Amino acid sequence: MANERARELRRTMSVPERKLWRALSNPKAGGMRFRRQHPMGHYIVDFICLERRLVVEVDGGQHGHDTQIAHDQRRSQWLNAEGYRVLRFWANEVMSNTEGVIAMIVNEALSVPTRDTPT
């Protein structure tokens, strides 16, 4: 079920997600391998680098509502407890400052050593 939903989300990515995916899949983005719309427990994360244990989320306007903020906090806490760091960017930031967003992602990813075996 989660894999089917992840496939659907890959087909229907938002414009900011597509833009970030193009940048993350470019070898110049620190040489890291990211996956998109990847199932993790009960969640599907926007982007993940398993080797660096880094999750990247692109948040649209709906993420500013109280119920969504609480959901995002629970999700980030669960991912942190699983050993992943979570970076969140607003969709408009991805659109207007893609290079800056990529630089922040690369800096965060390179700040810790790689994992031997991805999960």
For residue 41 the two structure tokens come to 């427990």
Specify the amino acid at residue 83.
G
Q: DSSP label at 64?
A: G
Predicted pLDDT of residue 117: 45
**Half-sphere exposure of 42 toward its Cβ, with a 13 Å CA cutoff?**
7
State the pTM of this model: 0.82
Reply yes or no on whether the pLDDT at 19 is more than 90: yes
Q: What is the pLDDT of residues 43-96, one digit of tens each?
A: 999 999 999 999 999 988 665 556 768 888 999 999 999 999 999 999 999 999
Highest mean predicted confidence (pLDDT) among 17-31, 46-60, 63-77, 102-116 = 46-60
State residue 99's pLDDT score. Answer: 93
The amino acid at 64: G
